[in-house]
């Protein structure tokens, strides 16, 4: 891609960017939230958001030929593939049917010989063979005829990749934060699969915020900042700190280490008893957990083991049974309004379900739930209500600064923000409720290294200054260990045990693999 420039509604978001990827290379594309990575990829894929907003300048060359891709279908025909962050699989279909969707193999039979090709039947044997080959490349040994519904979320990513690999003309494949939903072991399997794919001559464009992964697999790295190309480096000539500094344009200090205060004398604020939650792929099967007032409790564990289901169950988003007590009051399960009424707030792990009002301003999105549920920022004069616009503006500006939301200002509509910045608006919206307990899942998913620290710092600040109890679910152990007082590990839908943030890596590994470590972490519970 040569000298690419793009404007959205008068704002330049790409300014003369070059990106060159060779066959068989793993090329990392890095940049802060809003740096322009997705926009560059949208140009490569010929997405309509680009054409409908005035197109772009510069040239895209594929195999040295200027090729302006007009649509995603054309991109696919040209051998450009994409592994979506939001899985696009059909749950009721088997793995093979998903891999071969729209590229089914047919065979002749007695009837179609006479009545035409429309009556050909599916050639299951050859479809199976192709699916198996693609699954083997990504190192997935699950049966290829198993239904996708109910498989752990970690598997979905591998099926998406297998589907791309099965397209025989694939030349370049874009991985957009592929490990964000994976656990550490799954992520390392994915990185291995990426190397194997690259070895077969397919180029990989790797977008990630995890710099250690870049150091592990990338050959070359392109870094964008504010829509400009700031550096092209070879992996062997750099290190994660330098990459982080190139991305944000300033010195970065290490991940914060919260000096966790003792929770021993604290009383229980939320008591969960025998909770079961029917969340597909994240079933909770009898969780007992006491959450202490004013603590930051981490919930960790491998994908598909149920850690994600706990907050979703308590907040009433999935059918649940068992008992949950807020102090002495029993909460009605299965009703999201009940949770909000009791001043519990939730930042979901599900990016698609974040429910932003995409055509409304950042400031309205930040305050809307608090306005509706708590009558905050509203003044009543008899039958009339007035919105406190000045206070909303001031508060939004503070949130924009605290969470480093990259935008043109509080009135910008959220649709025009990058994915990571939309995430930050969701976090700000939950914080505005000043909840008694904040459930926050995967708080830094999709958020760049610089802003990650800010988000975690904001959580610590709210915990310390307002005494907010926080329950944070994350697949990043380092993140849990950096700010939590205690970390509950979930395996097979139950709490396997509770660890201290400074317990050894080996103990974390053992517990996540399902071992009971009774003698560990005395005094933690
Ligand atoms: N549809 C749109 N309309 C207007 N502006 C947009 C649109 N999509 C993106 N932008 C703007 O373009 C800039 C680059 O955004 P982009 O999504 O490319 O960033 P990114 O590097 O992919 O970020 P992230 O890591 O958060 O996904 C941002 O300033 C964003 O606000």
Distance separating alpha carbons of residues 54 and 194, to the nearest angstrom:
35
Longest dimension (CA), the chain: 82
Atom of ligand 1 nearest to the CA of 423: 26
Is the predicted pLDDT of residue 292 greater than 70, yes or no? yes
CATH of 2-248 among 3.40.50.300, 1.20.1250.20, 3.30.70.380, 3.50.50.60: 3.40.50.300
Atom of ligand 1 nearest to the CA of 36: 18
Atom of ligand 1 nearest to the CA of 406: 29
Q: Is the ipTM of this complex over 0.90?
A: yes
| Residue 36 CA to ligand 1 centre (angstroms) | 6
Q: Mention every residue, 6+ apart, whose C-beta is less than 8 A from residue 69.
A: 43, 44, 45, 46, 60, 75, 78, 80
| Residue 34 CA to ligand 1 centre (angstroms) | 5
Distance separating alpha carbons of residues 93 and 108, to the nearest angstrom:
23
Nearest CA to ligand 1 atom 7: 416
| Residue 33 CA to ligand 1 centre (angstroms) | 8
Q: Does domain 266-343+435-525 match CATH 3.40.50.300?
A: yes
Atom of ligand 1 nearest to the CA of 9: 4
Lowest-confidence segment of 219-233, 350-364, 406-420, 458-472 by average pLDDT: 350-364
Distance separating alpha carbons of residues 369 and 403, to the nearest angstrom:
18
CB 309: neighbour CB atoms within 10 A?
29
β-strand partners of 68: none
pLDDT digits (tens, 9 = 90+) for 37-92: 999 999 999 999 999 999 999 999 999 999 989 998 899 899 999 886 656 788 88
The average pLDDT across 230-254 equals 81
Mutate to test the pocket of ligand 1, among 38, 47, 404 (most ligand atoms within 8 A of CB): 38
Is the predicted pLDDT of residue 522 greater than 80, yes or no? no
Domain ranges of the chain: 2-248, 266-343+435-525, 350-432
β-strand partners of 224: 31, 229
Atom of ligand 1 nearest to the CA of 446: 25
| Residue 39 CA to ligand 1 centre (angstroms) | 6
Is the predicted pLDDT of residue 151 greater than 80, yes or no? no
Check residue 523 and give its pLDDT.
46
Is the predicted pLDDT of residue 249 greater than 80, yes or no? no
pLDDT digits (tens, 9 = 90+) for 200-221: 999 999 998 888 899 999 999 9
Write out residues with Cβ below 6 Å of ligand 1: 8-9, 13, 31, 33-39, 49, 416-421
């Amino acid at each position: 891609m040569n000298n690419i420039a793009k404007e959205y509604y008068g704002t330049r978001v790409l300014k003369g960017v070059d990106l060159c990827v060779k066959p068989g290379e793993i090329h990392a594309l890095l940049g802060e939230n809003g740096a322009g990575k997705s926009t560059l990829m949208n140009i490569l894929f010929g997405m309509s958001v680009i054409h409908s907003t005035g197109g772009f300048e510069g040239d895209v060359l594929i195999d040295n030929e200027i090729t302006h891709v007009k649509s995603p279908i054309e991109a696919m025909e040209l051998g450009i593939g994409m592994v979506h962050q939001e899985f696009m699989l059909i749950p009721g279909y088997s793995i093979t049917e998903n891999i071969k969707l729209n590229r089914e193999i047919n065979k002749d039979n007695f009837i179609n010989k006479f009545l035409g090709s429309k009556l050909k039947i599916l050639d299951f044997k050859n479809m199976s063979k192709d699916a198996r080959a693609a699954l083997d490349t990504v190192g997935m040994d699950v049966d290829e005829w198993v239904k996708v519904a109910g498989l752990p979320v970690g598997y979905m990513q591998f099926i998406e990749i297998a589907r791309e690999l099965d397209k025989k003309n694939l030349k370049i494949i874009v991985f957009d934060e592929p490990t964000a939903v994976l656990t550490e072991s799954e992520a390392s399997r994915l990185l291995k699969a990426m190397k194997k794919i690259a070895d077969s001559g397919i180029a990989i464009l790797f977008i990630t915020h995890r710099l250690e992964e870049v150091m592990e697999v990338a050959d070359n790295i392109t870094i964008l900042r504010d829509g400009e190309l700031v550096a092209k480096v070879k992996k062997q000539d750099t290190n994660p700190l330098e990459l982080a500094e190139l991305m944000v344009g300033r010195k970065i200090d290490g991940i914060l280490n919260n000096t966790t205060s003792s929770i021993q004398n604290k009383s229980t604020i939320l008591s969960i008893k025998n909770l079961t939650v029917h969340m597909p792929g994240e079933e909770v099967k009898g969780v007992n957990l006491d959450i202490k007032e004013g603590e930051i409790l981490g919930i960790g564990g491998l994908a598909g083991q149920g850690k994600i289901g706990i907050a979703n169950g308590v907040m009433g988003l999935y059918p649940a049974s068992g008992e949950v007590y807020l102090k002495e009051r029993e909460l009605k399960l299965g009703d999201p309004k009940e949770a909000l009424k009791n001043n519990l707030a939730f930042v979901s792990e599900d990016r698609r379900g974040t429910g932003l009002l995409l055509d409304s301003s950042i400031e309205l999105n930040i305050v809307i739930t608090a306005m509706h549920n708590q009558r905050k920022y509203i003044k009543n004069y008899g039958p009339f209500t007035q919105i406190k616009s000045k206070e909303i503006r001031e508060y939004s500006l503070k949130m924009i600064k605290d969470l480093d939301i990259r935008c043109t200002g509080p009135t910008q509509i959220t649709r025009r923000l990058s994915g990571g910045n939309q995430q930050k608006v969701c976090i700000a919206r939950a914080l505005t409720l000043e909840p008694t307990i904040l459930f926050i899942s995967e708080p830094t998913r999709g958020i760049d290294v610089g802003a990650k620290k800010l988000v975690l710092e904001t959580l610590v600040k709210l915990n310390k200054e307002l005494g907010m109890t926080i329950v944070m679910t994350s697949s990043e152990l380092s993140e849990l260990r950096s700010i939590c007082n205690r970390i509950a590990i979930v395996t097979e839908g139950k709490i396997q045990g509770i660890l201290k943030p400074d317990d050894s890596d080996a103990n974390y590994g053992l517990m996540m693999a399902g071992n009971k470590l009774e003698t560990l972490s005395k005094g933690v519970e």
